[in-house]
Amino acid sequence: PEEIMLKGAGVVVDKKLGLVLASRSTVAQPLGDVELTFGGTVMVEATVVFIHPVHSVVLLRYDPEQVQGMGVQEARFPTTAPVMSSVEPGDSLTMVGLDYNQHAFCLSVTCNSLGSFSLVLPSPPRFRDRNLEVISLGETIRGFGGIFIDEEGAMIAY
């Protein structure tokens, strides 16, 4: 049998419970082994807790004791109403992500445009994401993806 290895970026959303948010392109289905890498060196097993049936969101769980003492931080979320509604073309955004060499990066990017994104119905029928708002960037990002953060470091988009 052929081994399929998917890689991608995830974000810790609860460090006490060991919860990580990732995309379905990183973890496509709940069967199989899932391994998370912290700090580029510590690898821990994880389990799939939830796969959203419509959006490209997966929730994973790992044992927080396995990364104890590493300074793992969880994402912070804005305390106000949806921040994305305040993003306009020309705005400068900060992106934190993972490059193809599995190194973390943080860079300033420019929002070229905002819009909806839809995919044609696949044949044969299978999962497709819907109801997405997409930020088109002025720069090319070479990596597995990441998150956008506001000036306070809170996550505003995934």
Does residue 13 surpass a pLDDT of 70?
Answer: yes
pLDDT tens readout for residues 108-123: 888 888 887 766 777 7
Q: What is the pLDDT of residues 19-65, one digit of tens each?
A: 999 988 777 777 778 889 888 889 999 999 998 877 778 999 999 99
Beta bridge partners of 50: 59
Tokens (6 digits) for 85:
């509604």
Q: How high is the mean pLDDT of the chain?
A: 83
Q: What pLDDT, on the 0 to 100 scale, is given for residue 113?
A: 86
Long-range CB pairs of 81-86, under 8 A, 24+ apart, other chains included: 83/150, 83/154, 83/156, 83/157, 84/133, 84/156, 84/157
Whole-prediction pTM: 0.78
Buried b (16+ CB within 10 A) or exposed e, 13-35: bebeebbbbbbbebbeeeeeebe
Biggest CA–CA distance in the chain, Å, is: 49
- The more confident residue out of 79 and 63 is 63
- Sign for the CA dihedral angle at 48, 81, 144, 70 comes to negative
Closest C-alpha to 104, from 6, 19, 10, 20: 10
Res. 81: pLDDT tops 70: no
Higher-pLDDT residue of 70, 84: 70
